[in-house]
């Protein structure tokens, strides 16, 4: 897909400790593969690229006492080179790599949006969908979540152009981001807000599908015990 098209910027699996991140980096680079190490203050990350060219950010959230604040009160998020010695000094960092920890989850998904200055995306994600601002960097980067200043979705306009267009259907492109809501009432409340806003959406028996103003497809479902079941394939 064209870089300027809306869609997936990257996904960020989150490991629980810096030692886990250090073990992954040592393993990955030992294979002769390139990785970019970045310090975001709120987190430390290792960016890698899969064989199809997709960016994956293996990340670890920093302790809250290390966070800094912007003048607007939101957490500082920067992109500075990360000194590997900071990670290597962590207890357990020199242990053998045996795969990512079982508790690794998706820390965030970063989406490319195409409206100038987030002028349309911001009110859609905040006022209609109901997210809260986790952090922001000017009008090119907005992190949203559901409390606790943790951004589970990140919106960026850094690759937008005035002629940005949807990715062609025959290209690798984002098919959807799945999001869980606590209960059926939350799903119907969301449908109501979308209807009031006049925003097209589809409510079915098992969820709600909607595209954001840039065309990124989002799929909301109700969180159930079945969502968390592990399927034994042995």
Mapped onto helix, strand or coil, the DSSP state of residue 105 is strand
Q: Is 230 a residue whose pLDDT tops 80?
A: no
Q: How far is CA 32 from the centre of its chain?
A: 27
Strand, helix or coil at 46? Answer: strand
Please tell me the least confidently modeled range out of 8-17, 149-158, 161-170, 205-214: 161-170
Q: Is 228 helix (H, G, I), strand (E, B) or coil?
A: helix
Residue 229 above 70 pLDDT?
no
Q: Is 121 helix (H, G, I), strand (E, B) or coil?
A: helix
The dihedrals phi and psi of 192, each to the nearest 5 degrees, come to -65, -45
pLDDT of residue 227: 56
Query: Does position 71 have pLDDT exceeding 60, yes or no?
Result: yes
């Amino acid at each position: 897909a064209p870089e300027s098209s809306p869609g997936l910027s990257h996904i960020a699996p989150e490991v629980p400790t810096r030692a886990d991140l250090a073990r992954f980096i040592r393993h990955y680079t030992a294979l002769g593969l390139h990785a970019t190490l970045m310090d975001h203050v709120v987190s430390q990350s290792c960016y890698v690229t899969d064989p199809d060219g997709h960016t994956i950010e293996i990340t670890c959230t920093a302790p809250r006492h290390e966070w800094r604040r912007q003048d607007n009160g939101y957490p500082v998020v920067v992109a500075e080179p990360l000194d590997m010695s900071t990670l290597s000094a962590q207890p357990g960092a020199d242990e053998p790599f045996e795969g990512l920890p079982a508790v690794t989850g998706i820390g965030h998904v970063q989406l490319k949006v195409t409206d100038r200055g987030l002028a349309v995306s911001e009110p859609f994600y905040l006022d209609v969908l109901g997210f809260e601002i986790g952090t922001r960097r000017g009008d090119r980067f907005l992190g949203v979540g559901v409390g606790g200043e943790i951004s589970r979705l990140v919106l960026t306009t850094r690759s937008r152009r005035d002629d940005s267009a949807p990715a062609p259907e025959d290209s690798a492109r984002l098919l959807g981001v799945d999001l869980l809501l606590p209960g059926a009432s939350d799903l119907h409340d969301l449908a109501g807000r979308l209807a009031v806003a006049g925003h097209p959406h589809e409510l079915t028996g098992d969820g709600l599908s909607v595209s954001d103003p840039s065309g990124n497809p989002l799929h909301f479902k109700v969180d159930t015990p079945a969502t968390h079941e592990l399927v034994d394939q042995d």
